[in-house]
Amino acid sequence: MNLDRRHFLVMLPAAAIAWKYVLAGTPDASPNYTMTDHWWSMLIDIPKCIGCGNCVRACAAENDVPDGHFRTWVERYHVNDWHMEGPEVISPDGGKEGFPAVAQSAGGGEGFSSAPQDEGKYFFVPKLCNHCADSPCTQVCPVGATFIAPDGVVLVDQTYCLGCAYCVQACPYGCRYIHPEKKVADKCTLCYHRITKGLTTACCENCPTGARKLVDLKDPNDPIHAFLKTHYVQVLKPQMATGAKVFYNELDGSVR
Amino acid sequence: MSLTKDAGHLFRFAFLFVVAFVVFLLVRHFVVPKSFGEYGHYRGAAIGEIAARPLHYAGHETCETCHADIAEAKKAGKHENVSCEACHGPLAKHANDPSIQPVKINTTVLCIRCHAESAAKPGGFPQIDPVQHSGGVPCETCHQPHNGL
Amino acid sequence: MSGVEGYMYPNEITLYWSVLIVLYPYITGLVAGAFILASLVRVFNVKAVAPTYRLALLTALAFLIVAPLPLQLHLGHPGRSPEMYFTPHATSAMAMFGFVYLWYLMAVLVFEIWLDYRSDIVHLSQSTTGWLRRLYRIMTLGSQNISPRSLAIDHKVGWIVTIVGIPSAFILHGYVGFIFGSLKANPWWNSPLMPVVFIFSAMVSGIAAVLLLYMLTTWMRKMPIDMPCVDTIAMYLFYIFILDFSLEMLDLVHRVYEADESFRTLNFMVHTRLYFSQIVLQICIGTLVPILLLAIVQVTKLPALVRRRIYVVSGCLVQIGVFAMRWNVVIGGQLFSKSFLGYTTYKMALVTREGLLVAIFLTILPLGILWVLMKLLPPWPEKEQGSLEPAA
């Protein structure tokens, strides 16, 4: 508690509010936060993702994610020209420590990847809970232990969850798991403890290239509105009709 | 009424049902959490509890309140939009109590996480082959990460 | 990662629905099937199978008592299961389980058994002594009225209960199928045929189980087996089995012909990881062989001894086949990635709460309960046990 007053005064408002309550030991109070004023989601800009795994590490550190389970992970796709429907996908340890290098072909220019050694293209796809508006996971929960909060975030009440794993089966994206120690369903909370205090999520905060951006659709000043007007954006598995809210810019058709 | 008499045992069975149902309703009244149904079919208080989880990453806004000089220097470089904890790790504890010092960064590991050459990375992103490029000499010998070149 | 082939989403590598969830639909299936056999006597007036009426009811009860245990044990927090009763989620297929279960247990099975046994219970409460006497007295609910009129009323009410019980049995088990069939995320499960297939395979396994139990208990009591009775049961078993097999094949053919985005993945799975349990156990040994055996009995005139042996063999094969079917649904549905790019492996634990030993125990437990029930409420049509002979 050594943060002196000078520091408080110069802090940016959002961070200052968050920090004041963290310091006071009452981090639950988010006085300037009204749930109905927000509709949270995320934008993933695929051409910007370099597969460094920073988001996966940050998520694990921020949320105490148990080893071998992932609230967010990164996949590397390799799509061959002749076999669009059968991409080769890897995600070693969820991409936590990055990915093995793919050698540049001899003709590749400086700092610019032209043709890789194998034919076809490579790209990274970060995954996380899609915070679906018509989420199949909250639909099947027998007791109401997982729900869509009024601000559009899909949350799990871990003091109420039975651990039946029906929601794990119902998620088409593989975003849920049963916490090995707590024995309850666990998943991305969109860093609910951060976004309610004006901070961004741990993954967005730590993405070095800005490939992940927290989005508030109810905020008229959010740059997402301009972005969606000018880019080709898709959600994962639209045929599942889950109302997925994580938007992917320039998503390749082979991603599932 | 001999019908009621001869069907009397059925009423006894039905009575057990009614008793069980009343007991169920009573227990339910006391067991269901108070905030259940506040916003929907779930425990409303859960939202506040989840919002109250502790932070590990303080956020670059917090860092910049004390380290304004670094923030200023960063603006000139390519790492302008890379936030502090992306390289320095979660430092909420340090923000809380500046006497807790962050661990020194090993640049040979850190930098290549992003900058190691791979055809899988988007073109235009600066990449190097670590062995060819420096042969194991720490990156900060030549490069200044805060005003990155 | 060991046991993973191709690409799984990282959270999919562990299977969360274990062998206990395989056991659960298997056991409720036996309940529903046994009850349908009992209803043959009661509602459809098939007099030939009357000797198994009470046995079928007790079998259904014994298995129904055990049915929720595998579910309970598989929960991460078994102590929180009452929440299903207190705050059931209207949109969840699983939330209704508690209510459907309780309804079926109390309003159908226990009530019907009680009505049917009431005069025996009253007699026993007079002829026995000690704690048994006290138990029977409680079971009479304090009413010793067994006048012909009251028994006639019981008979009428029992008939109505059975009528209500048939759709209830269908709901109890069909809805287990719905839990799987309604998940759009999983193409192996997602099928409107799932509840129907579950109901028919339930009838097959339940009827076969009662057939086996009847032959076993009669043999143990050194009584002659009522051949017209077992022949009739076998006939019903055969016809329902044909229906069940047709439905399962319809599902399979439809999947193969439609060959949607998941087909390549599922097809590969059936030919590799599920080959033994699906093709060999479920379809060949558990379905085709017993159907063939039962068909032979239908079209030829075999001596009674051969027929009995065929019934025992096909009854056992049916149990293996239906259990394999539950296994293929529950475990098979979790072996492939929802990305359709890879497969994982189910490693069954041995001694954990969800392990093999518990599963074996839960399979034997209903038989133990049935034994106690049979001691308490003898289901035999002929009154032969001296000690339980009702006082004149």
H helices within A115-251, ranges in order?
A: 136-140, 166-170, 192-195, 202-206, 224-230
Mean pLDDT of all residues in B19-35? 96
Task: Report the largest interatomic distance among the alpha carbons of chain C, rounded to a whole angstrom.
Answer: 74
B9 interface with C at CB cutoff 8 Å: yes
Q: What's the CA dihedral at C239, C63, C370, C18 to 10 degrees?
A: 110
CB contact under 8 A, C143 and B5: no
Residue type, A182: K
Q: What gap in Å lies between CA A102 and CA B6, rounded to an integer?
A: 86
Chain B, 88 to 117: residues with Cβ < 8 Å from chain A are: 89-90, 92, 95-99, 113-114, 116-117
Q: Which residues pair with A76 in a beta bridge?
A: A90, A124
Cβ–Cβ < 8 Å for C365, C30: no
Q: Quick one: A225 and A182 in the same domain?
A: yes
Same domain, A224 and A125: yes
What are C177-203's pLDDT values in tens digits?
A: 999 999 999 999 999 999 999 999 999
pLDDT at C192: 94
Let me know whether A183 and A80 are in one domain.
Answer: yes
Q: Which tokens belong to C58?
A: 């007790």
Can you give the pLDDT at residue B37? 94
Please state the domain count of chain A: 2
Torsion angles phi and psi, residue B127, rounded to 5: -135, 145
Tokens of C175: 């809805």
Query: What is the average pLDDT across C95-121?
Result: 92
Quote the CA–CA distance of A44 and A82 in Å, as a whole number.
27
Residue A88 three-state SS: strand
Q: What pLDDT sits at residue B1? A: 52
The H or E element spanning position C354 is none
Which of C83, C84, C85, C87 best tests the B interface by mutation, with the highest count of B CBs <10 A?
C87
Of C185, C213, C119, C115, the C-alpha closest to C156 is C115
Distance CA B13, CA C114 (A): 10
For chain A, the distance separating the N- and C-terminal CA atoms, rounded to the nearest angstrom, is 47
Listed in sequence order, the residues at least 6 apart from C215 whose beta carbon sits closer than 8 Å to its beta carbon are C225, C230, C308, C311, C312, C315
Q: Mark yes or no for CB contact A178/C186 under 8 Å.
A: no
**Residue C17 contacts A, CB cutoff 8 Å:** yes
Give the neighbor-by-neighbor strand order of the sheet with A121-128: A88-90, A72-79, A121-128
Q: Chain C residues within 8 A (CB-CB) of chain B? A: 82, 85-87, 89-90, 106-107, 111, 114, 118, 140-143, 145, 147, 149-150, 153-154, 157
Per the domain annotation, does A102 fall within a domain?
Answer: no
pLDDT at A82: 81
What confidence score (pLDDT) does residue A83 get?
Answer: 82
Q: At residue C119, does pLDDT exceed 60?
A: yes
Q: What is the DSSP letter of B88?
A: H
DSSP class per residue in C117-167: HHHHHHHHHHH--HHHHHHHHHHTTT-----HHHHHHHHHHHHHHHHHHHH
Mean pLDDT of C83-96: 93
pLDDT in tens, B78-104: 899 999 999 999 999 998 888 988 888
Nearest CA in chain A to C84: A143
Query: Would you say C262 and C188 are in contact if contact means Cβ atoms under 8 Å apart?
Result: yes
What pLDDT score does A119 carry?
A: 73
Tokens at B28, concatenated: 């339910």
- A6 with A78, same domain: the answer is no
Top-confidence residue, B2 or C300: C300
HSE-up of residue C39 (Cα within 13 Å, Cβ side): 22
> For position B77, what pLDDT does the model report?
87
pLDDT of residue C391: 37
Q: Report the C-alpha gap between C355 and A131 in whole angstroms.
A: 34
Dihedral (CA of A91, A96, A102, A108) sign: positive
Q: How far is A46 from chain C (nearest CA, A)?
A: 18
Instruction: Identify whether A112 is part of a domain.
Output: no
- Using CB atoms and an 8 Å cut-off, which of residues 212-251 of chain A contact chain B? none
- Residue C246 distance to chain A (closest CA, Å): 28
3-state secondary structure of C209: helix
Q: Tell me, what's the pLDDT at A4?
A: 44
CA pair distance C327, A186, nearest whole angstrom:
26
Contact A252, A79 (CB under 8 A): yes
Under 8 Å between Cβ of C113 and C105:
no
CA C94 to centroid of chain Cα atoms: 18
For β-strands A154-156 and A177-178, DSSP reports them as unpaired
Would you tell me how many other CB atoms lie within 10 Å of the CB of residue B62? 29
User: What integer is the mean pLDDT of C275-287?
Assistant: 96
* Beta carbons within 10 angstroms of residue C189's beta carbon: 20
> Is some CB atom of chain C closer than 8 A to the CB atom of A161?
yes
Give φ, ψ of C342 to 5 degrees. Answer: -170, 180
Q: Identify whether the C-beta of residue C264 lies closer than 8 Å to the C-beta of residue C337.
A: no
Find chain B residues with C-beta within 8 A of A147's C-beta.
Answer: 40-42, 46
Residues A131 and A27 in one domain: no
Residue A125 identity (one-letter amino acid): V
CATH (domain of A50): 3.30.70.20
Q: Distance between CA atoms of A253 and A84, rounded to whole angstroms? A: 8
Domain membership of residue A214 as a residue range: 33-96+119-249
Tell me what pLDDT residue C384 has.
Answer: 44
Q: Which long-range contacts (CB under 8 A, 24 or more apart) does C371-376 make?
A: C373/C58, C373/C61, C373/C62, C374/C55, C374/C58, C374/C217, C376/C135
Residues of chain A predicted below pLDDT 50: 1-11, 25-27, 106-116
H-only helix segments in chain C: 19-42, 53-66, 68-74, 83-86, 97-102, 111-127, 130-139, 148-181, 194-220, 227-258, 263-271, 289-299, 304-330, 332-335, 356-376
Q: Is residue A228 a part of any domain in this protein?
A: yes
Domain shared by A67 and A27, yes or no: no
Residues contacting residue B116 through CB under 8 Å, at least 6 positions apart = A98, A101, B127, B128, B129, B130
The C-alpha of A94 sits at a distance from chain C's nearest C-alpha, in angstroms, of 6
Query: Rounded to an integer, what distance in angstroms lies between the CA atom of residue A238 and that of residue A229?
Result: 19
A22 shares its domain with A47: no
Residue C382's pLDDT is: 59
For residue B36, the chain A residues in CB contact (below 8 A) are 144
pLDDT at C326 > cutoff 60: yes
Torsion of CA B137, B141, B145, B147, to 10 degrees: -150
Residue A80 belongs to some domain of the structure:
yes
Q: Which residues contact B38 (CB under 8 A, 6 or more apart)?
A: B44, B45
Residue B126 with chain A: CB contacts under 8 Å: 111
Mention every residue, 6+ apart, whose C-beta is less than 8 A from residue C148: none
Q: Can you give the pLDDT at residue C252?
A: 94
ipTM value for the complex = 0.91
Looking at the structure, do residues A13 and A65 belong to the same domain, yes or no?
A: no
Q: In terms of domains, do A37 and A19 share one? A: no
Give the up-direction half-sphere exposure of residue C325: CA atoms within 13 A in the CB hemisphere.
Answer: 31
Q: Decide if B118 contacts A117 (C-beta within 8 A).
A: no
For an interface test with A, which of B47, B100, B115, B127 has the most A Cβ atoms less than 10 Å from its Cβ? B47
Cα–Cα distance measured from residue C331 to residue C353, given in angstroms and rounded to the nearest whole number: 17
pLDDT per residue as tens digits for the range C231-252: 999 999 999 999 999 999 999 9
A206–chain B Cβ distance below 8 A for any pair: yes
pLDDT band of B131, cuts 50, 70, 90: confident
A180-A183-A188 Cα angle (round to 5): 75
**Could you tell me if C186 and A169 are in contact, meaning their C-beta atoms sit under 8 angstroms apart?**
yes
Query: By the CB < 8 Å criterion, does C2 face chain A?
Result: no
Least Cα separation, residue B120 to chain C (angstroms): 18
Instruction: With beta carbons less than 8 A apart as the criterion, state whether C234 and C297 touch.
Output: yes
* Residue of chain C whose Cα is closest to the Cα of A159: C80
A92 and A156 belong to one structural domain: yes
Residues A163 and A223 in one domain: yes
Work out the mean pLDDT of chain C and round it to a whole number: 93
Going by C-alpha positions, the residue among A165, A212, A211, A216 that lies closest to residue A186 is: A165
Contact status, residue C144 vs residue C169, Cβ threshold 8 Å? no
Task: Based on the fold, state whether residues A27 and A81 are members of the same structural domain.
Answer: no
